[in-house]
A and B are shown apart, each in its own frame.
With several copies, the nearest count.
Chain A
Amino acid sequence: MVDDELYREIILEHYHHPRFKGALPDASMSAEGMNPLCGDEITLYLKTDGDRIVDVRFDGRGCSISQASASMLTEALRGLTLAEAKRLQERVKAMLTGAPHEPFDEDDDLNALEGVRQYPVRIKCALLAWTTLEELLEAT
């Protein structure tokens, strides 16, 4: 009855305990994203030191999928270079849209997002943080 494929434990865990949520006043860059179908909003903050991401935060409101996905993003981006962040963003997007991609490890939290693929409407929710990141990286 309860959909384990979509609501995997790791997703609910991120949703209930989002990592790095809140504004980042001294961010080097930020971008706002919105899902016009449902009204979900997100703001993404990056703080860089040279080419390297030293802090990431997100703020906003949305469903478990969009919030968990954003929370995972903040964790995964920490310490990457901007180029690595771009590659990760492309990999997650490919996974969610069914394009060829290098799979994530079984125990990588991001792997839990793969279940969303079977729920076409929710793909946009999972993508929200990542398309906002895409726009932010393009703007640099």
Chain B
Amino acid sequence: MTVDINTTYDVQAIRADFPILQRRIGSYPLIYLDNAATSQKPRQVIDALVHYYEFSNANVHRGLHTLAEEATEAYETARAKVARFIGAEPESLVFTRNTTEAINLVAYAWGLANLREGDVVVLSEMEHHSNIVPWQLVARLTGAKLHYVPFTSDGELDSDALEQTLRLEPKLVAITHVSNVLGTVNPVEEITRKAHEAGARVLVDGAQAVPHKPVDVRRIGCDFYAFSGHKMLAPTGIGALYARRELLEQMPPFMGGGSMIRKVTHASSTWADVPTKLEAGTPNIADAVALGAAVDYLQAVGMEAIQQHERQLTEEALRLLDGEEDIEIYGPRNASRRCGLVSFNFKHVHPHDAAQILDQRGIAIRAGHHCCQIIMRKLDVTATARASFYLYNTIEEVRTFWKALDDVRKVFGKHGGR
């Protein structure tokens, strides 16, 4: 990898690190614009996996032999890297499978211990199902109540509504950093400050933020922050929860099992120190190590540079789509108010059909509810199409995507013929 943030952004050098970008779909080169669903993986991350399994594979923490020491060292080094990447200390970082597990961990471990009948939990209407359903499950077990802050027609969080909801003295505000449908970047720093003033804990869903922009959990000030490795160049099966250390220490464990205990007796057990207390059983060691390698890669390119590059792609996509009268765009129009994705719909073609036809040109976009049925209902659609960008996408790819929309029109007619 030869990228240097001090020179120009060398997207071709980056692309050369991603073997899958050589792939063809039928006779077309792959244009992968489904990065909000999952990202592709550079050679360096794949190599980290292979090296781990060919050289140091062992179970961690409990072994005295050389491989076990090396595996433990690699695993804990990865934890320190990932923690540093978001401005946290290693003891505050729990490895999970993904964002979803991180949020469920908080819902079960912190939620069951801290929520009581009638307590208020504040969500927003732009949350991913992963930041809704865990709270519904825990609300059913505890009797807590959920309140949803709406978003405006611009796709921005309704800040007046938020302030009103905070008067209910919620126990928790759980909010996404970046919406995976609208692209909106929420002002999580300000939301955290207000929520803290109202006495609430704050959980931020960072699944769409950490891969795409610099994130510093200390600056945000939130209590919990969740994200997924697979959306940031790392393998599937690894993610993380940051939590303020004193909360981690006070929380009862989530899952029980090996590693997370201090002493087990017939009747009860005591717990290991944080973060191990929250990591029951054999962890996903290799994928954690590879997440460390992904963080190295992202840092070498530079998160500012990545954000800047994606903004250019997003601006171009917004500009091109905005000129089409048969297309509706969702979310903020100003690229500086959003992250690198654009949701849209043909007025007369279902997004499934659009996605299918683009696939025949090698262009991978996503069509569906994007795990955000509440947003869909508000937009009064059942699904949207979404093109989402990452560090290896090019302006030419964005233009090819835009041109391919004409193929959709060829099948369905300029106005869908309906």
Binding site for B on A (CB under 8 A): 1-3, 6-7, 12, 15-17, 34, 36-41, 61-65, 67, 119-122, 125
- Minimum CB–CB distance from B165 to chain A (whole Å) comes to 27
- Minimum CB–CB distance from A32 to chain B (whole Å) comes to 10
Q: A37-B61, A121-B63, A121-B64 are in contact. Are A64 and B412 (CB under 8 A)?
A: yes
- Minimum CB–CB distance from B413 to chain A (whole Å) comes to 8
Given A6, A12, A34, A39, which contacts B376 in the complex, CB threshold below 8 Å? A39
- Asked whether, in the complex, the Cβ of A65 is within 8 Å of the Cβ of B410, the reply is no
- Asked whether, in the complex, the Cβ of A34 is within 8 Å of the Cβ of B262, the reply is yes
Residue among B73, B263, B383, B413 having the largest count of chain A Cβ atoms under 10 Å: B383
B69 located at the interface, meaning its Cβ lies under 8 Å from any Cβ of chain A in the complex: yes
- Asked whether, in the complex, the Cβ of A39 is within 8 Å of the Cβ of B356, the reply is no
Q: A34-B263, A39-B382 are in contact. Are A62 and B350 (CB under 8 A)?
A: yes
- Asked whether, in the complex, the Cβ of B262 is within 8 Å of the Cβ of A36, the reply is yes
Residues of B within 8 A of A17 (CB): 418
Q: A34-B263, A120-B69 are in contact. Are A1 and B360 (CB under 8 A)?
A: yes
B369 located at the interface, meaning its Cβ lies under 8 Å from any Cβ of chain A in the complex: yes
- Asked whether, in the complex, the Cβ of B356 is within 8 Å of the Cβ of A122, the reply is yes
B352 located at the interface, meaning its Cβ lies under 8 Å from any Cβ of chain A in the complex: yes
Residues of A within 8 A of B357 (CB): 2-3, 7
Q: A2-B407, A2-B411 are in contact. Are A36 and B272 (CB under 8 A)?
A: yes
- Asked whether, in the complex, the Cβ of B410 is within 8 Å of the Cβ of A2, the reply is yes
Question: What 1/0 flags go to B396-418 for Cβ under 8 Å of A?
Answer: 00000000000100111100111
CA distance A62 to B72 in the complex (A): 22
Listed by A's residue number, 12 A-B pairs whose Cβ atoms lie within 8 Å are: A3-B357, A3-B360, A7-B411, A12-B411, A12-B412, A16-B418, A38-B382, A39-B373, A39-B382, A62-B350, A62-B382, A121-B64
Main secondary structure of the interface of B (DSSP, over half): mixed
Residues of A within 8 A of B418 (CB): 15-17
CA distance A7 to B417 in the complex (A): 14
- Asked whether, in the complex, the Cβ of A36 is within 8 Å of the Cβ of B383, the reply is no
- Asked whether, in the complex, the Cβ of A65 is within 8 Å of the Cβ of B352, the reply is yes
Residues of A within 8 A of B382 (CB): 38-41, 61-62
Residues of A within 8 A of B361 (CB): 1
CA distance A67 to B382 in the complex (A): 13
Given A39, A61, A64, A120, which contacts B73 in the complex, CB threshold below 8 Å? A120
Residues of A within 8 A of B63 (CB): 121
Residues of B within 8 A of A15 (CB): 418
- Minimum CB–CB distance from B219 to chain A (whole Å) comes to 29
- Asked whether, in the complex, the Cβ of B356 is within 8 Å of the Cβ of A36, the reply is no
- Asked whether, in the complex, the Cβ of B367 is within 8 Å of the Cβ of A38, the reply is yes
- Minimum CB–CB distance from B130 to chain A (whole Å) comes to 15
CA distance A41 to B262 in the complex (A): 11
- Residue in A closest to B383 when the chains form the complex, CB atoms: A39
Residue among B62, B411, B412 having the largest count of chain A Cβ atoms under 10 Å: B411
B261 located at the interface, meaning its Cβ lies under 8 Å from any Cβ of chain A in the complex: yes
B368 located at the interface, meaning its Cβ lies under 8 Å from any Cβ of chain A in the complex: yes
Residue among B72, B272, B368 having the largest count of chain A Cβ atoms under 10 Å: B368
Among B296-317, those with CB < 8 Å from A are none
- Minimum CB–CB distance from A131 to chain B (whole Å) comes to 12
- Contacts A12-B417, A36-B272 aside, 11 further interface pairs with beta carbons under 8 A come to A1-B361, A1-B407, A7-B353, A7-B411, A38-B62, A38-B369, A39-B369, A62-B382, A64-B412, A122-B64, A122-B356
- Asked whether, in the complex, the Cβ of A125 is within 8 Å of the Cβ of B352, the reply is yes
- Asked whether, in the complex, the Cβ of B69 is within 8 Å of the Cβ of A121, the reply is yes
CA distance A26 to B241 in the complex (A): 48
Question: What 1/0 flags go to B22-35 for Cβ under 8 Å of A?
Answer: 00000000000000
- Asked whether, in the complex, the Cβ of B356 is within 8 Å of the Cβ of A6, the reply is yes
CA distance A16 to B413 in the complex (A): 10
- Minimum CB–CB distance from A125 to chain B (whole Å) comes to 7
CA distance A6 to B382 in the complex (A): 22
Q: Which 4 pairs across A and B sit closest by C-beta, in order of nearness? A: A63-B352, A63-B350, A39-B369, A39-B382
- Asked whether, in the complex, the Cβ of B73 is within 8 Å of the Cβ of A16, the reply is no
Among B58-79, those with CB < 8 Å from A are 61-64, 68-69, 72-73
CA distance A110 to B263 in the complex (A): 29
- Asked whether, in the complex, the Cβ of A16 is within 8 Å of the Cβ of B416, the reply is yes
- Residue in A closest to B368 when the chains form the complex, CB atoms: A38
Given A3, A16, A38, which contacts B383 in the complex, CB threshold below 8 Å? A38
- Asked whether, in the complex, the Cβ of A36 is within 8 Å of the Cβ of B352, the reply is no
CA distance A89 to B381 in the complex (A): 28
- Minimum CB–CB distance from B79 to chain A (whole Å) comes to 15
Question: What 1/0 flags go to B336-366 for Cβ under 8 Å of A?
Answer: 0000000000000111110011001100000
- Asked whether, in the complex, the Cβ of B360 is within 8 Å of the Cβ of A2, the reply is yes
Residues of A within 8 A of B353 (CB): 7, 63-65
CA distance A36 to B373 in the complex (A): 10
- Minimum CB–CB distance from B382 to chain A (whole Å) comes to 4
CA distance A17 to B418 in the complex (A): 7
CA distance A15 to B413 in the complex (A): 12
Residue among A17, A39, A120 having the largest count of chain B Cβ atoms under 10 Å: A39
Residues of B within 8 A of A7 (CB): 353, 357, 411
